[in-house]
Structure 1
Amino acid sequence: MTIREAVPWCPRCEWNLDRYEPKRHRPEFGWQWIDRRTHGLAYRLTRQQFTALAQRPLEQGGLGPARIVTVTASVLLLAAVALLAAAGGWLLVAYRFPGLNMLVGIVALAVAFTLRPRFGRLDPELEVLTRERAPALFRLIDEVATVIGAPTPDIVALDEGRLNAYATCVGVRRRRVLCLGLPLWGSLPPQERVALLGHELGHFVNGDSRRLLLTQPAFTMLANAADLVRPVDTVRGAGLLEMVGALLAHVVQATMARLLFGAHLLLLWVALRDTQRAEYLADEMAARVAGSAAAASLSDSFLLADVIDMLVRRDARAGHGPARWRRTADEARAANAGQLPLLRQLSIRDDVSLFATHPPNGLRARMITERTWREPAVALTEPRAAQIDAELSREYERTRRALAWNA
């Protein structure tokens, strides 16, 4: 059986589902023979993780091997940068001016500043909502947060251009941010909106290492260090001695950059095992608050994200708003309902990666449906959903114009 011109596989036993198709995958390392092997490894690890998690509770956080490695690496990296900064400061004050020590100290401080942890900041292009501006939406967010035991976000923002949503923490104080992409929010039926909120707010309590203050260096520092030492060709028209020196420096810098970036990829691969577990737990929280049917249906909606995004943009160009977006998206889901089992399976082939932050949507939907079936704890009625949309009418209109202009 096949779909979307993929190499056939057996839907019943999933034979040949692990097939690597270069045309369906973005190169990760640039060498097809390496990409083929890493795809095979990622497929096995992803399936093994799914099997292990499906047979036990999805505990929150915990000190698993991936978490221990990530935290340890972050502490060591922070200590190294702190020592570099301390050494630079000592070189500036311990010797008399002028001297070579001052130059070395300034360089050390500059490197330490460049490698400092990045804790993120709020995207200035987002539209930030207040409770006074959208009280019905905030009441729904409060209800969902209460059911899953999550704190309410410090900031609720809207993205006018993307069929997406996310929860993150920004700044040293780790302010919690919930961002809803209006093209996605407007195209979802009410109960899937509840599932979306349950999943995103679940990230504030599911122990996702990407949102912890202590683990941020593991995701950024080594990559920044690799960029810092990566060679830049600046020698032009020099003599033989300068060219030889530049060549040697290039070799040393290139080697260091590759080693640092390789260490970054290895650490990222380990850390992302834990983030995929956190995604499964966030899905379970979505099922807890919205019901298993809505949570699985939301996962299936992301399988059709490209189709729905195209249709929403088409409707926006025609001057239609969220009511039409939702009807069109519902029609797309209904038209593809018969292909959903195959699309779920194909997503496992297409979306596995050593560096994927999320498990394949097909496995996420399967995890929801194979665990204890849950009924909705929060039900969003059509009138209440319409009230929320009415509050956001001004933002919807700006989104419609943005989608029409950028289509």
Structure 2
Amino acid sequence: MRILLFLATNIAVLIVASIVLSVLGVDRYISNDGLNLGSLLAFCAVFGFTGSIISLLLSKKMAKMSARAQIIDSPANHKEKWLLDTVAQLAHKAGIKTPEVAIFPSHDANAFATGWNKNDALVAVSQGMMDRFPPNEIEAVLGHEIGHVANGDMVTLTLIQGVVNTFVMFFARIAGYAVDQFLRKDDEGGVGWGYYIATIIFEILFGILASMIVMWFSRYREYKADIAGAQLVSKSDMMAALIRIKKESEVSHMPETMMAFGINAGKRPTLGELLASHPPLDDRIKALANS
């Protein structure tokens, strides 16, 4: 869900920005002579990175709301105290500030981490994992999530998404301009409504294709986070946690909209492997065993 919410917020920002800019007529890169590609690229870069940065800044708030995560300020029992202490110890070991800690209501064994920088992050664990997993395996999962934070995965994702956004907007406007010129029968300069409608459609289509790049990065970083969990806790505990998650993931109760959020991504999306946020658990277990 971490990745899914980030992408959804980012796409929403871009679409809203495109509509607002179109209504206001802020299209300085279009003249009677056609498109000024240099100005268009600069324009797209500004708004492309703005969308990804806004997504990053909202990531923790959106995660709390969507997962209904309950922040633990004062532990109500020994399990919550253990959770707070364990996250603090792992964060200290990883060299980062202790993240906020939360538990979210889900039967599935899952966990996630998000936040705009490594010293202002959130780590959350499902109630199902707290109830059923042994402490050493929960600690390994927490090490995995702390690894995401310490490795700066969300910041790196933001930079990648900014570049992707830039070219999605850039090529969508070129395609939209081409469609508009093809449909128009007059010889007047500028563009008609066909340009704006086609541009939004192309932004959505190109955005889906660009998501494959983001999902590839997400899958790659999962392997790195598994290694981080093994280093912060132990390889045997990280392996045991992944094996247990694999067994439990065969019967999942978590909504599909939540799947991209945590260590357990559940089933692959129907669009296939290219849009999967996580590698198959068998591949992760094998990669960790060979690391």
User: Is this a same-fold pair by TM over 0.5?
Assistant: yes
Q: CA–CA distance in 2 between the matches of 1:301 and 1:367? A: 16
Match of 1:137 in 2: 83
Q: CA–CA distance in 1 between the matches of 2:165 and 2:101? A: 26
Match of 1:398 in 2: none
Q: CA–CA distance in 1 between the matches of 2:111 and 2:95? A: 20
Match of 2:129 in 1: 184
Residue of structure 2 aligned with 1:366, choices 258, 276, 286: 286
Q: CA–CA distance in 2 between the matches of 1:283 and 1:351? A: 25
Give 1:257-406 correspondences, 5 Å limit: 257-306=200-249, 353-371=273-291
Match of 1:160 in 2: 105
Q: CA–CA distance in 2 between the matches of 1:262 and 1:308? A: 33
**SS at 2:278 equivalent:** coil
Task: Determine whether 1:151 maps to 2:97.
Answer: yes
User: How many residue pairs get matched?
Assistant: 210
Quickly say closer, same or farther: Cα 1:88–1:268, change in 2 above 3 A: same
Cα displacement (A) at 1:351:
10
Quickly say closer, same or farther: Cα 1:173–1:195, change in 2 above 3 A: closer
**Which whole-Å deviations, capped at 9, do the CAs of 1:99-158 have from their partners, x for residues lacking one?**
xxxxxxxxxxxxx8xx953323243432110155443322211222233334321x2111
Instruction: Work out whether residues 167 and 177 of structure 1, in 8 Å CA contact, stay in contact via their aligned partners in 2.
Output: yes
Match of 1:199 in 2: 144
Q: CA–CA distance in 1 between the matches of 2:147 and 2:211? A: 22
Identity %: 20
Q: CA–CA distance in 2 between the matches of 1:203 and 1:143? A: 16
Quickly say closer, same or farther: Cα 1:308–1:261, change in 2 above 3 A: closer
Q: CA–CA distance in 2 between the matches of 1:254 and 1:281? A: 41
Q: CA–CA distance in 2 between the matches of 1:260 and 1:270? A: 15
Give 1:204-243 correspondences, 5 Å limit: 204-209=149-154, 214=159
Instruction: Work out whether residues 90 and 143 of structure 2, in 8 Å CA contact, stay in contact via their aligned partners in 1.
Output: yes
**SS at 1:204 equivalent:** helix
**SS at 2:275 equivalent:** coil
Q: CA–CA distance in 2 between the matches of 1:294 and 1:126? A: 25
Cα displacement (A) at 1:262:
2.4
Match of 1:321 in 2: none
**Which whole-Å deviations, capped at 9, do the CAs of 1:370-391 have from their partners, x for residues lacking one?**
11xxxxxxxxxxxxxxxxxxxx
Cα displacement (A) at 1:178:
0.9
Cα displacement (A) at 1:273:
2.0
Gap regions ≥5 residues in structure 2: 1-9, 28-46, 173-191, 254-266
Q: CA–CA distance in 2 between the matches of 1:166 and 1:290? A: 17
Gap regions ≥5 residues in structure 1: 1-73, 92-111, 227-248, 311-346, 372-407
Match of 1:20 in 2: none
AA matched with 1:261: I
AA matched with 1:353: E
Cα displacement (A) at 1:212:
5.3
Cα displacement (A) at 1:193:
0.9
Instruction: Work out whether residues 87 and 101 of structure 2, in 8 Å CA contact, stay in contact via their aligned partners in 1.
Output: no
Q: CA–CA distance in 1 between the matches of 2:196 and 2:149? A: 40
Q: CA–CA distance in 1 between the matches of 2:286 and 2:105? A: 31
**SS at 2:273 equivalent:** coil
Cα displacement (A) at 1:214:
4.7
**SS at 1:157 equivalent:** strand
Quickly say closer, same or farther: Cα 1:305–1:174, change in 2 above 3 A: same
**Which whole-Å deviations, capped at 9, do the CAs of 1:300-348 have from their partners, x for residues lacking one?**
22222245657xxxxxxxxxxxxxxxxxxxxxxxxxxxxxxxxxxxx99
Quickly say closer, same or farther: Cα 1:260–1:90, change in 2 above 3 A: closer
